[in-house]
Structure 1
Amino acid sequence: MGWLSSLAYRNGPFLLSLAALALLWEVVGRSIDLITLPPLSAVLAAFYDLWASGAVTAPLLDSTLALLYGLVLSLAFGSLIGIGMGLSRFVDVALGPYVKAGLSAPMIAFVPVFLMIFGIGPATRIATVVAFSVFIVATNAATAMRASDPRLIEMAHSFGASRWAIFRDVRLPAGAPYFLAGLRLGVARGVKGLINGEVLIAIIGLGGLVKKYGTVFSMDQLYAVILLIVVYAAIAVGLVSAVSRLLVAEEK
């Protein structure tokens, strides 16, 4: 029980704020008769019903698979692009403006384009995840390549180390925190892109449930799905953060 009390102590302020928010939501929802704000207890009841009936199981699985495929592609291509930018000035000048534009552009505007190209299906959602996450992965990969101490690289050169050995033994260990940060940010942006894309597509995944219940003003079910999405995103980012801490601890 020691770890449980330690966890509660470290997260005490958050738990207090969460309890206060839940209480405020319940009180306001019961005190003010608003169709757009059902009490939290009604939302939790709807959440249980949706989960118990299996209404969210298939959409959750569909969204998770699309997210995983999109993140794998983003990690692969984003890392390759970022490593090239970090190691080569030519690649940086050639591709850097596109990466910066991708970071700042409202990628949601491309969802209708993906829809016309790929149709209604997983390919559109995967493309949306990639569009949202690949550029942040590339940016952090480029930063990771530039994080190495030039003196260590020079020393490795003086001992006759090959480019691959320098990349493996010097650049990768020094840049690991930036790679992991890019992965965490990529997951967060990927979930955002996935749900936004599904809302526009309107018939599939968790975003499709948001559109479905929002259209018929079933607010308790709508908030239940939104609550599921928030928890889903928090778990995804939390898992990546936990893995990142383990990897960093092993490196040390």
Structure 2
Amino acid sequence: MTIYGYRIPMMASLIVWCILWEIVGRLDLLLLFPPFSDVLVALGDVVNSRSFASAVSITLYSYAWGLGLAIVFGVALGFLMGTVPVADRLLNMWVNVFLSAPLSALVPVIMILFGMGAPTVIVTVFMFAVWIIALDTRAGVLHVPASLLEMARSFGASRWTTTWKIVLWAAMPEILAGIRLGVIRGVKGVVIGQLLVSIIGVGALFTTYSNNFLMEHFWALTLILFAFALTVGQLIALLEARIDYYAGARS
């Protein structure tokens, strides 16, 4: 953003919001919003607590498994929809329905099927992340130029070789975009799963802080989750930028 010829960094908007947060907190307008400076102080208490280390280990375990399964299944489903027209006609509508549906309402159903524990949280993360990955992968596969496929066939490449060495890499920008969005949606899924069903991990900390009106600690934990999601998303975005050549080559 540029104002009067001066380039303003994107972080400036974040600083403005922090200042507004501090003002609202100091005025005691809302009990739920303590001053931002108090949240920063509580941030150290949260990170250094013994319960935080235990909660993070449980949460990362569920998140990693759920997201890993979502990536594998989502990419495979997207490839199937992008390469087999019949499968696309059968599955496309349902994938879009699950993507736009309020998945939080399905968490109690998942709890009945998988019980109250880590499996429910893993499935919740999977459900939140897999559909956007599948749709972005499908978009990438459908946008692979026909000239690349014709070239592979002219050199006698098998279907597996064409898929692995041409289609996969040509669709990689969209696949990574879907994974980046899935990473962020997966954070939402792990919190909802631990908060609504299995009161474990980060969900247990949120419940403890809110029940005891420790709002400084509550918002400090929220900031940690936001920072985690944005950091992982940015790392994937950097990987996207490194392979952006493939997107340019297709256009």
Q: TM-score, normalised by structure 1?
A: 0.88
- What percent identity do the matched residue pairs reach? 36
5+ residue gaps, structure 1: 1-10
- Of the three residues 160, 164, 171, the one matched with 1:168 is 164
Amino acid at match of 1:222: F
Q: TM-score, normalised by structure 2?
A: 0.88
Aligned-pair distance for 1:169? 2.9
Instruction: Work out the CA distance in 2 between the residues paired with 1:218 and 1:111.
Output: 27
Amino acid at match of 2:135: T
1:26 has 2:26 as partner: no
Partner of 1:80: 76
Secondary structure of 2:96's aligned partner: helix
Q: Decide whether aligned partners of structure 1 residues 250 and 147 sit closer, same or farther in structure 2, where only a CA change above 3 A counts.
A: closer
- For the Cα contact (< 8 Å) 2:120–2:198, is it kept in 1? no
Partner of 1:131: 127
Amino acid at match of 1:136: I
More deviation, 76-85/31-40: 31-40
- Of the three residues 160, 177, 186, the one matched with 1:190 is 186
- For the Cα contact (< 8 Å) 1:69–1:126, is it kept in 2? yes
Computed over aligned residues only, the root mean square deviation of the Cα atoms, in angstroms, reads 2.1
5+ residue gaps, structure 2: 1-6
Partner of 2:4: none
- Of the three residues 137, 148, 151, the one matched with 2:147 is 151
Instruction: Work out the CA distance in 1 between the residues paired with 2:156 and 2:29.
Output: 75
Instruction: Work out the CA distance in 2 between the residues paired with 1:207 and 1:228.
Output: 13
- For the Cα contact (< 8 Å) 2:38–2:216, is it kept in 1? yes
Aligned-pair distance for 1:184? 0.5
- For the Cα contact (< 8 Å) 2:118–2:198, is it kept in 1? no
Q: Counterparts of 1:189-208 in structure 2 under 5 Å? A: 189-201=185-197, 203-208=199-204
Amino acid at match of 1:31: L
- For the Cα contact (< 8 Å) 2:143–2:171, is it kept in 1? yes
Amino acid at match of 1:37: F
Q: Decide whether aligned partners of structure 1 residues 117 and 202 sit closer, same or farther in structure 2, where only a CA change above 3 A counts.
A: closer
Q: Which runs of 4+ in 1 moved over 6 A?
A: 249-252
Aligned-pair distance for 1:34? 3.8
Instruction: Work out the CA distance in 2 between the residues paired with 1:126 and 1:153.
Output: 37
Q: How many residues align?
A: 242
Amino acid at match of 2:234: G
Instruction: Work out the CA distance in 1 between the residues paired with 2:158 and 2:13.
Output: 54
Amino acid at match of 2:227: V
Aligned-pair distance for 1:101? 1.2
